[in-house]
Each structure stands twice: as structure tokens, then as C-alpha cells.
A and B are shown apart, each in its own frame.
Chain A
Amino acid sequence: KQEVTQIPAALSVPEGENLVLNCSFTDSAIYNLQWFRQDPGKGLTSLLLIQSSQREQTSGRLNASLDKSSGRSTLYIAASQPGDSATYLCAVRPQGGATNKLIFGTGTLLAVQP
């Protein structure tokens, strides 16, 4: 059974620091992995999607990497800002079975201190 884990559950950093959020999954047979941002009381906003054939994706100050063989993905945030404070979730779309079923991690709560 595919399981997705995000460590740490919470992270606090000073403004301007570069940081890495981690996501690990137990089964490497995936179509893709998606990173989301969730602000308090809001829905999930898609940040980056990495297909299984890709190693990384970039959008602005965000860079997501994927290592299927080790079951790991990282989200790198450069020059963090207080506006980056939110919960970040990763989700994998497994191959086989019900391919519509994304498996979510429980998220990392990021606080960027001014």
C-alpha cells in the first residue's frame, strides 16, 4: 500500500533563508507527484507537478525534484518570504489500481519569520 510521509510536520525559518521540504513515498510505481500550497481556511493551490519521467520542475523561486528509485521528492524554496508561510502538501498518483486516486501526505506547516 502506497504511503506518503512529510517530515518535518512544522518548520520555522527567518526571512531570506533557502529551505527544503521533504516528501517520501513507499512505492515507486507512480504516474506523477504534485506539490500543493494551502493557506489557512483556503483550498489547495497547485505549485508544481513532476511526471514520473522527469527529475525536476521549476517555477520562480520553487524547484521540485523527484527520485523515484529512492521514493523521495524535495521542494526547494529560495530566498523565503513571509508570504511563503503556509502548509505544503505533496501527493502521488499511483500506477495500477484506481489511477484517479491521489495519495496525500499530511503536510509541512511552514512559518517564515520577518
Chain B
Amino acid sequence: NAGVTQTPKFQVLKTGQSMTLQCAQDMNHNSMYWYRQDPGMGLRLIYYSASEGTTDKGEVPNGYNVSRLNKREFSLRLESAAPSQTSVYFCASSVPAINTGELFFGEGSRLTVL
């Protein structure tokens, strides 16, 4: 059982380049999330998708777009990367909060923008 899988694990971009981070979960979870983790800032929510076909902004959505392709997959796109987007990005999934809401994370994607 793979859980939450993210690709790529590492990426280096130049300022202005675009890229998409991919995430897939095999736990049949309705909700999926994208977080970024920065030293001293903790984990901050970028976007989330409560269910297939819906997406909502989190705390720090500027500079990002997302697509909930189907129930399994939730991608994060940087259209024009900036050095401030250098971070570790985590995808997560969960069952609805009304059940347990327990969150499961992927291994992370480490992005450096030069």
C-alpha cells in the first residue's frame, strides 16, 4: 500500500520557469492538501480539495494553482517560479473531519528556485 506518493522528490528551477508537482493517493480519501514547510514557519496550507471537483485556497495560495484531476490525484503548479517559493512541499490526504480527519502525508518534494 503506497499511501501518498509525490513526484518529483527534488527539483531545481530558474526564476520564471514553471513546473507541476504531482500527488496521488491510493487510500480512497476524499480530501487532499498541499502544504509548504519552511524553517521557523512550520507547515502552511497552500490549497486543499475537500472532494473531487472542488478546490479552495489555504493560507498562502499566491503564485500557485491546483487541479484535482480525479479522486486519486491532486497537482500543484507554479506558473512563474520565484526564489520565495524555495521550500519543501508536502501533499496529504484525509478522510472527512466528521469521521476521524486523520491526515496522511507524502515524503515531500524539495524545490529550489535560483
Contacts and interface: CB of A to CB of B under 8 A. Distances in A.
Interface of A: 31-32, 34, 36, 41-46, 49, 51, 89, 91, 93, 98-102, 104-107
8 contacts: A36-B105, A43-B4, A43-B90, A43-B105, A44-B43, A93-B97, A98-B48, A101-B48
Contacts of B94: 100
B103 interface: yes
Nearest to A49: B102
Interface of B: 4, 31, 33, 40-43, 45, 48, 50, 56, 58-59, 90, 92, 94, 97, 100-108
Contact of A32 (B4, B48, B101, B108): B101
A102 B56 contact: no
A91 B90 contact: no
B42 to A, nearest CB: 4
SS class, residues of chain A in contact with chain B = strand
A49 B99 CA distance: 12
Given A43-B90, A43-B107, 19 more contacts: A34-B103, A36-B105, A42-B107, A42-B108, A43-B4, A43-B106, A44-B90, A45-B105, A46-B102, A46-B103, A49-B101, A89-B43, A93-B101, A98-B48, A99-B97, A100-B50, A100-B97, A101-B48, A106-B40
A89 B42 CA distance: 9
A102 B94 CA distance: 11
Contact of B104 (A32, A46, A89, A101): A46
A5 to B, nearest CB: 11
B42 A106 contact: yes
A27 to B, nearest CB: 15
Contacts of A49: 100-102
